[in-house]
Amino acid sequence: MTGGRNSTPVLSLSAASLSFGERQLWHNLNLEVQPGEFLAVLGPNGTGKTSLIKAILGQQQLTGGTVEFLGRPVARGSRQIGYIPQQKLLDRSTPLRARDVVALGVDGHRWGLPVSSRAVKARVDEVLESVGATDYGNVPVAMLSGGEQQRIRVGQSIAARPRLLLCDEPLLSLDLHHQRSVSELIDEQRTALGTAVVFVTHDVNPILPFVDRVLYLAGGRFRVGTPDEVLRSEVLSYMYDTPVEVIRSRGRVAVLGAPEGYGVHDHLEHHERPSGVLG
């Protein structure tokens, strides 16, 4: 789909390590993400999934190794990256309509007044259409439901046709129906634009049909591979260091016996996140 570009990875981590004090989250992580690839980042809380996203955004210093985006060391943010943060509803008094939120994804970094060019307006209409939000484009964004706001966020994140889409638990607090439609939207975008997707989630099932590879983080260890290679009883038992059973049934995956709260260090998680965001 993206032709000759397939040789250049969008994202590459080499010998990347991250620890907080004594605690090692991951060590010697080597990973390349190709254009159009869908990578799911799985694992229990506190294993550094969100920290990985922050590292790619240049907001989290690695303890070792490098992260490169499009062949260059990551900077603090990039216009070639689309980002869907952990779901948090926009403030009730936000003086923006749904379409304005999408427009910020296109030209929010530009100086001046919020008057968008005709080209930007056309792009916003196109994006609203593609995320199925044309009906509520002019509705104040704070009046939208959680599912609708998340569609708008997906639209905002893809509006500038990014090379990489970072999704941090974008399905959290959505019902099953919306989980499916938001996942499908993200998948459609990566197929249409050849965008690489890094998708952090604690539940792989809504995105399982789209995932090319899985990065599984647990207990200071990691595994990379296709879902079939990684989501297996022996692999996860080794990672959790305890017998774990992976059951696959009707296209769904269930992990049984994974120690509840394994790797959870609440104080750590809270340090990693900006205040006011509930995890």
Partner 1 sequence: MGGDFWSQIFGFADYGELLWLVKNSILAGALLGVVGGLIGPFVMTRDLAFAVHGVSELSFAGASAALLFGVNVVAGSIAGSLAAAILIGILGAKARERNSIIAVLMPFGLGLGILFLSLYGGRSVNKFGLLTGQIVSVDNPQLLWLVVVSIVVIAGLLVIWRPLTFASVDEDVATARGVPVRTLSLVFMVLLGLATAVSIQIVGALLVLALLVTPAAAAMRVTSSPLLTPVLSVVFAVVSVVGGILLALGGGLPISPYVTTISFLIYLVCRLVGWRREKSGPGPRARLSKAAA
Contact present, 216 and 238 (Cβ < 8 Å)? no
Considering only the stretches 34-42, 83-91, 197-205, 220-228, report the one whose residues sit in contact with partner 1 under the rule CB under 8 A: 83-91
Binding-site member from 21, 72, 115, 278 for partner 1 (CB under 8 A): 115
Binding-site member from 114, 132, 209, 261 for partner 1 (CB under 8 A): 114
Contact present, 196 and 35 (Cβ < 8 Å)? yes
Contact present, 17 and 29 (Cβ < 8 Å)? yes
Binding-site member from 141, 167, 198, 217 for partner 1 (CB under 8 A): 141
Contact between 113 and partner 1 by CB under 8 A: the answer reads: yes
Contact between 90 and partner 1 by CB under 8 A: the answer reads: yes
Report the residue number, 114 or 243, with the smaller CB distance to partner 1: 114
Give the nearest distance from C-beta 218 to partner 1 in angstroms: 26
Report the residue number, 132 or 243, with the smaller CB distance to partner 1: 132
Binding-site member from 70, 89, 120, 142 for partner 1 (CB under 8 A): 142
Helix ranges (DSSP H) in the chain: 49-56, 98-107, 118-130, 146-158, 176-193, 227-230, 233-240, 266-272
Binding-site member from 1, 75, 176, 247 for partner 1 (CB under 8 A): 75
3-state secondary structure of 48: coil
Which string of x and - marks every residue 120-139 that binds partner 1 (by CB under 8 A)?
---------------xx-xx
Using CA atoms, how far apart are residues 131 and 185, in angstroms rounded to an integer?
6
Which of 203, 180, 183 is CA-nearest to residue 191?
A: 183
Per CB under 8 A, which of residues 8..47 are in contact with partner 1?
A: none
Contact present, 236 and 257 (Cβ < 8 Å)? no
Contact between 70 and partner 1 by CB under 8 A: the answer reads: no
Contact between 111 and partner 1 by CB under 8 A: the answer reads: yes
Contact between 104 and partner 1 by CB under 8 A: the answer reads: yes
Residue type, 86: Q
Using CA atoms, how far apart are residues 148 and 131, in angstroms rounded to an integer?
10
Place of tokens 């998708």: 199
Report the residue number, 160 or 231, with the smaller CB distance to partner 1: 160
Which string of x and - marks every residue 157-186 that binds partner 1 (by CB under 8 A)?
x--x-----x--------------------
Contacts of 17-24 with CB under 8 Å at 24 or more apart are 17/62, 17/63, 17/64, 17/65, 18/48, 18/51, 18/52, 18/55, 18/60, 18/62, 18/63, 19/63, 20/268, 20/271, 23/220, 23/265, 23/268, 24/220
Report the residue number, 199 or 240, with the smaller CB distance to partner 1: 199
Contact between 278 and partner 1 by CB under 8 A: the answer reads: no
Using CA atoms, how far apart are residues 8 and 244, in angstroms rounded to an integer?
37
List contacts with partner 1 (CB under 8 A): 57, 59, 75-79, 81, 83, 85, 90-91, 93-97, 100-101, 104-105, 107-115, 135-136, 138-143, 153, 156-157, 160, 166, 274-276
